[in-house]
Chain A
Amino acid sequence: MGMTMAEKILARHSGNSSVRPGDIVVCEVDKIIQIDLVFSASAEMPKRIADPSKVAIILDHAIPAPTIGDAEGQRIAREFARRFGIEKFFDVGRHGICHQVILENGLALPGQILTCTDSHTCASGAFNCVARGMGPLEMLQIMCTGKTWYQVVPTVRFDLSGKKPSNVFGKDIFLHMAGLAGSLEGRNIEFGGPGVTELSLDDRATLATMSAELSAEFTTFPADERVVEHLRSVTDEPFEPAESDRDAEYSAVYEIDLSRMRPYVARPDFIPHNTLPVAELNERVPIDQAFVGSCANGKLEDLRIAAQIVRGRTIAPGVRFIVTPASQRVLKEAVRRGYVETLLDAGAVVTNSTCGACYGGHMGVLGPNEVCITSSTRNFKGRMGNPSARIYMGSSATVAASAIAGHITDPTPFIGDRS
């Protein structure tokens, strides 16, 4: 019986010739990513760690430190990096949201296993890497022993074909998938088919990142030429991609024709089976805040389309439009290309790169009963601030168009033939 990408990677790392759903395997972990939030005065520190070269520390959730507690945690992180000789340390200035920094710097490689405490760690699946979020204690265990266990689960395959229209982005494809398949807890997601190569790396990363909202275990994409070319430009580390076998077994297969996709929106509180095309949102939803950002959609492509949409226009009165780049590198490039100036001219606030508003931490927290349209990752009650706030979700294009309109709207007329 053939294996899926995830099954192959788990088999290789556990010294098995094959694995099947239901198996529990103990695997060597290739990359261990620690974020700022795991370091605090009360957090336990190990006496020794297995291999410092496999560990990277990325400060992202609360930087530069908004509170004294955060500042203290980050001081401890610096001390930790020094003490254990951790060279891959992304301190303030080289920072960015961990998943973006991982992809930009080639920390996640095809065929590898990566772990991090953030629940959107599946983002690295965009590069054919088996990656998932873990609790802080389990991360400590992996740092110490270099290993952990995985239970092999069935895989759901999404076969992509066609080419997406210019008003459609990774987020729209994901929201469509969430309406189609619903929650996929206890299952892996695998993307394949000729449509994959049509997608930009940013769109693939959005899809992989957002899979966390379907509660999937691992999400994997094949490592095509575009992935390999990018990685070869940033790292010398060798890697071995895992392709799925032709006779791999899937618990379900969905066919998605990208050319038929439309801009989508999720209603507040959860995503599975809670999404619809923006054009079919019958009620008029006025907004208080529009947010473009997060590991899923604070990418250069997001800032580009947001700038394109607001160029020469003004943010609606009473609306705050907050744009948070996914990394310092994205911010720098967006400044260089003039996106930031265009956004500022329209009345947007462009912040430092951080998790910030995405988790209701800082720089864009919602007040009671406010309504927000976001292109970030999660729309749970209370996620971005007060639990009475209502969080809708769409692509960065939908968010930018809504910021101009003052209510949630289809971005298509705002994109037009502008480029």
Chain B
Amino acid sequence: MNSAKTLIAEGRVWMFAEDNLNTDLMMPQTVFAKPLEIQLRSVFATYRPGWVDEVRPGDVIIGGRNFGTGSSRPASLLLKRLGVSALVAETINGLFYRNCVNYALPALECAGIRDFAREGDEIRVNFVTGRIENLARNDAIEVAPMPEFLRAIIQAGGIRERLKAEGYL
């Protein structure tokens, strides 16, 4: 895995800007025991039907306040498997943020991100510097970068890869 690349995401924006979007919408309880393929089809299936067919590798999700509130289910893993390369939200729910880090989906909080980009805009997010560029509108903002300690987990490919490397799995 090219580690520098994982920490600079560039892609099309999907707006999921409503506040308090919860993990039940990303991974309903009914798919817990189902194969991955079915789990992937369930992502935002009731909230935004058809989205899973449109999302492409590299795409970036922009979220509202308290994005990912809810349970500990590994919804961020499903987003990652669908090809989402980054999450930038007004604020991110603490448990969801942990799961982003653990499953190696880079994520940043950025107040005002909702007004900074529109759906379909091409943006670039640098998790090392905290600089977010809207390539479509030639605009940029800067926020606190992702802490180095957490970036290292993402660069290792998430905690599963780490545990494997350390011989625990």
Residues of A at the B interface (CB closer than 8 Å) are 24, 37, 40, 44, 46-48, 69, 117-119, 132-138, 140-141, 144-145, 149, 151, 153, 183, 185-186, 215-217, 270, 272, 359-361, 380-383, 387
Contact = CB atoms under 8 A, between A and B. Distances in A.
A141 B66 CA distance: 25
Contacts of A185: 65-66, 69, 91-94
A141 B91 contact: no
Nearest to B46: A387
B29 interface: yes
B66 A46 contact: no
A40 B33 contact: yes
A380 B69 CA distance: 10
Interface string B146-169: 010110000000111011001111
A89 to B, nearest CB: 21
Closest 9 CB pairs of A and B: A144-B168, A135-B99, A185-B66, A119-B71, A133-B72, A117-B72, A141-B159, A69-B33, A24-B149
B81 interface: no
A186 B166 CA distance: 31
A151 B19 CA distance: 23
B28 A382 contact: yes
Contacts of A383: 24
Contact of B160 (A40, A137, A145, A217): A137
B100 to A, nearest CB: 10
Contact of B29 (A133, A183, A361): A361
B22 interface: yes
A145 B160 CA distance: 12
A119 B72 contact: yes
Given A24-B149, A135-B99, A151-B147, A381 B24 contact: yes
22 contacts: A24-B149, A24-B150, A47-B169, A135-B72, A135-B74, A135-B95, A137-B74, A137-B103, A141-B162, A144-B166, A144-B168, A151-B147, A153-B94, A183-B19, A183-B20, A185-B93, A186-B109, A215-B66, A215-B69, A215-B94, A380-B70, A382-B46
Interface in B22-73: 22, 24, 28-29, 32-33, 46, 65-66, 69-73
A183 B66 contact: yes
A141 B156 CA distance: 14
Most buried by A among B32, B65, B160, B163: B163
Contacts of B166: 144-145
A141 B92 CA distance: 22
If over half of B's interface residues share one DSSP class (helix, strand or loop), that class is named, otherwise mixed; here it is loop
B118 interface: no
B94 A360 contact: no
B33 A48 contact: no
A134 B46 CA distance: 25
Nearest to B164: A44
A132 B94 contact: yes
Contacts of A215: 66, 69, 93-95
Nearest to A387: B46
B2 to A, nearest CB: 23
B117 to A, nearest CB: 22
Interface residues of B, number: 39
Given A119-B70, A149-B150, A380-B22, 19 more contacts: A47-B168, A118-B72, A119-B71, A132-B95, A133-B71, A133-B95, A135-B95, A135-B99, A135-B103, A137-B74, A137-B159, A141-B159, A145-B166, A149-B149, A151-B147, A215-B95, A217-B94, A360-B29, A383-B24
Contacts of B85: none
B129 to A, nearest CB: 18
Contacts of B158: 137
A186 B67 CA distance: 11
Contacts of B19: 183
B126 interface: no
Contacts of B29: 359-361
B98 interface: yes
A186 B94 contact: yes
Contacts of B159: 137-138, 141
Given A24-B150, A44-B169, A217-B94, A136 B22 contact: no
A320 to B, nearest CB: 21
Contacts of A24: 147, 149-150
Contacts of A153: 94
B102 interface: yes
A47 B167 contact: yes
Most buried by A among B69, B91, B99, B167: B69
B72 A134 contact: yes
Contacts of A37: 32
B110 to A, nearest CB: 13
A130 B28 CA distance: 28
Contacts of A144: 163, 166, 168
Contacts of B167: 47
Interface in B78-102: 91-95, 98-99, 102
Contacts of B20: 183, 270, 272
A380 B21 CA distance: 10
Contacts of B70: 119, 380
A46 to B, nearest CB: 5
